[in-house]
Amino acid sequence: MSSDRVLDLNLDRLIDPGPGDGVRTALQELCKLIFNRSKNLVVKIVGCKRRQESTSDLEPVIYLNGFFYSNSDPYILTCAHGLKSGATDFFALMSDGSAFNDQVPIKLEPTHPPQLHGAMEAVGDSTYMIGFAGRDAPQLSSNSGTISSVGFMGYSGSPILNMDGFLIGMVQAGHDPNGSKQVTAIPAQGINMFLQTCGDTLPGIKV
């Protein structure tokens, strides 16, 4: 599966509100369009630890989101803290209908995804986020927001798109010293710089 659609969903001029249409309705239709065109590119990653040597006796220890990233090979991009959870086996739960119920095993390999073509965004610009909101979420959900405020607990590893359908970042979960819920996002430019710096030694996830 290619990630071309998550990088460029070809949304230009598909939503053109007429004189009698409200801006809110137009934005809702645009968000629905982005969701439908990118939902099959987002996966729920389950990290498991083996209770015994048998691969059939696995205990889930972490839940993350991820998304298909590479333009050529089917790589999945997600947050690095999931790889430090002690999990020995990772599974990608797909969201495209019946395939969601099938656990697709994935393995860690040295990877170097291609350059990320993320758009430069400014504070206050509208954004759109797609992912599985927490460990018990069986279905994809979405949220919209702005650059200064987008982020919800449970969406760690989810892609963040601008309102043109371009990938501009990834959700990274966190919290502040006072204990209140706060989520930060890694901008696309930072991801791109990190990948270029790591070279071929980057630990990634490959289907």
Contact criterion met (CB below 8 Å) for 157 and 64: yes
> Could you tell me the residue ranges of all domains in the chain?
126-198
**What's the pLDDT at 189?**
72
User: In DSSP terms, which residues pair with 109 in a beta bridge?
Assistant: 204
Model confidence at 182: pLDDT above 50: yes
CATH architecture for segment(s) 126-198: Beta Barrel (2.40)
3-state secondary structure of 192: helix
CA distance 121 to 81: 25
Amino acid at 138: P
Q: Summarize pLDDT for 61-96 with one digit per residue, the tens.
A: 888 888 876 655 556 788 777 667 788 877 777 766
Residues 6+ apart with CB under 8 A from 160: 127, 128, 129, 150, 167, 168, 169, 170, 171, 185
Q: Summarize pLDDT for 111-164 with one digit per residue, the tens.
A: 433 333 444 454 556 666 667 766 555 566 666 655 544 444 457 788 877 777
Q: Where are the beta strands (DSSP E) in the chain?
A: 42-50, 58-68, 75-77, 89-93, 104-110, 126-131, 141-146, 159-162, 167-175, 181-187, 203-206
Question: Taking Cα atoms as reference points, which of 87, 98, 3, 79 lies closest to residue 46?
Answer: 87
CA dihedral 152→155→158→163, nearest 10 degrees, is: -30
CA distance 48 to 1: 24
